[in-house]
Structure 1
Amino acid sequence: MTSQTPADTSNATAAAAQPQPTSSTGGAQDTTTQPAAGALPRILKNDPARTGFDPQTAWWVNYFKILTGSVTAEGAFHYREWRYRAHEARDCARCERWRDWCLAHSPTVAFLRRRIADLGGELDARNVACRRCPARLTEDGAGHRQSGGFSPDHGVLVCANEIRDRRHLEDTLAHEMVHAWDHLRWKVNWAGDKDLRHAACTEIRASMLSGECRWTREAFTRGNWTLTQQFQDCVRKRAVQSVMARPRCKDDVQAVKVVNQVWDSCFSDTRPFDEVYR
């Protein structure tokens, strides 16, 4: 999953601030937010007559309808989000257990915490928040999900409903902690309103250093069994996806161009590690 970062407010020590992501509430009603006027593409809301998924009926009835092909792919998407809302408390509690384990026992996370502290920041359970992150389905058929995010004002967000296991959370946390280190070290322009190359560089580094692009994860989780250039291709692809999520990025062509512009210097920069650790 690709991490998305909110706009930078140029607060140099904000990585130590208390995270305040909006807490979602469960419920049967399917709701999505329409984008601002002129934004493309449009976000799809569930229509039971069109999708076959009816949030007013029991979950097992909808699940059986999915198994028998009576629900469209769009309906299955909305069903998944509906179940995430119902299981929000359970998912967040599990996420917090895994988060606490990583903060206490993960060598990668412990190392990054020390390096962040060296720059005057602090990341711990107080500003690493587990929350449900609603996904969006747009009219072009694309689903938009994320497993985490970093805010200079609030800290790290881990999307409890998207985390598969403890190792996945460790990768996600390490990714966002690289962003935190980069922000404290270089004051990254996250929104890209000044220069998208900042965002491209930190995304390259975060994907490279977090472990999310290691061969075993690509092969066994994403089904990518390529033996040559697999690591580089994964880092490049995830960096392009993250740059495309920036509001100032016009399209995938611009995202690829920006990533290519900074690739050589940023892919070779393993700070604060001596080398790619995972």
Structure 2
Amino acid sequence: MADEPGTSSNGLTVTECQDMIRRSLRTPMVKFLLEHLDKSGCAIGDGFIKAVRCDQQISGGYTPGQGVILCSNHMSMQDDVNQVVIHELIHVFDDCRAANLNWANCAHHACSEIRAGHLSGDCHYKREFLRGFLKVRGHEQDCIRRRVMKSVTNNPYCSEAAAKDAMEAVWDVCYNDTQPFDRAP
């Protein structure tokens, strides 16, 4: 689950966001992820990624068997949409390649969040700066840890302590797992 990248209180309409999702599907990174999902036997169909209005302060999420949603009201520009699509597609890829991924398991959830944070560019220096986090060294891992904790503690099966323990237990393996990329983009 991605937390809110947009700063606009009203955000985009569902129609505007859906148009931006279509544009996002033509970007190189999204095309790469879609190709690897297809190669893994998990091709996604039309309507798998959809825009909705959300009451929660999140920008999107992935639900196995249902697809990806983007919260139009928490998006403000194409870059927001691209970022959330990439983040969520990494979760889809993880779900596809791991036959026993259990989203109720705090370690499984934390691992996918670590990978999505690291591989999607969620924690790029520019994004962190725009969020008001100013740190020269170590910003990426701090950002990923902060965002993993935010997401995993929203999991009804994971207390804050369980989320922290799970994140720490899987950090090295999951941070260094760059599949389907050769290295972190």
Instruction: State TM-score, norm by structure 1.
Output: 0.61
Q: Secondary structure of the residue that 1:272 maps to in structure 2?
A: coil
Which residue identity does 1:222 align to in structure 2?
Answer: R
CA distance in 2 between partners of 1:201 and 1:241 (Å): 13
Q: How far off its partner does 1:125 sit?
A: 4.0
Q: Secondary structure of the residue that 1:120 maps to in structure 2?
A: coil
- 1:167-246 matches, within 5 Å, as 167-187=79-99, 188-192=101-105, 196-219=106-129, 221-246=130-155
Aligned length: 179
Deviating 4+ runs (over 6 angstroms): none
CA distance in 1 between partners of 2:64 and 2:41 (Å): 13
CA contact (8 A) 1:2 1:241 kept: no
CA distance in 1 between partners of 2:104 and 2:173 (Å): 21
CA contact (8 A) 2:114 2:175 kept: yes
- Flag structure 2 segments of 5+ consecutive residues without an equivalent: 4-8
Given the alignment of the two structures, is residue 260 of structure 1 paired with residue 168 of structure 2, yes or no? Answer: yes
Partner of 2:40: 119
Q: How far off its partner does 1:240 sit?
A: 1.2
Partner of 2:50: 129
Residues 17-63 of structure 1 deviation map (CA, whole Å, 9 limit, x = unaligned): xxxxxxxxxxxxxxxxxxxxxxxxxxxxxxxxxxxxxxxxxxxxxxx
Given the alignment of the two structures, is residue 272 of structure 1 paired with residue 185 of structure 2, yes or no? Answer: no
Q: How far off its partner does 1:124 sit?
A: 4.8
Given the alignment of the two structures, is residue 96 of structure 1 paired with residue 18 of structure 2, yes or no? Answer: yes
CA contact (8 A) 2:50 2:69 kept: yes
Which residue identity does 2:58 align to in structure 1?
Answer: Q
Which residue identity does 1:98 align to in structure 2?
Answer: M
Q: Secondary structure of the residue that 2:58 maps to in structure 1?
A: coil
- Flag structure 1 segments of 5+ consecutive residues without an equivalent: 4-79, 136-144
Q: How far off its partner does 1:108 sit?
A: 0.8
Residues 125-156 of structure 1 deviation map (CA, whole Å, 9 limit, x = unaligned): 42111000112xxxxxxxxx110111111111
Instruction: State TM-score, norm by structure 2.
Output: 0.91
Q: Secondary structure of the residue that 2:13 maps to in structure 1?
A: helix
**Higher alpha-carbon deviation: 169-178 or 122-131:** 122-131
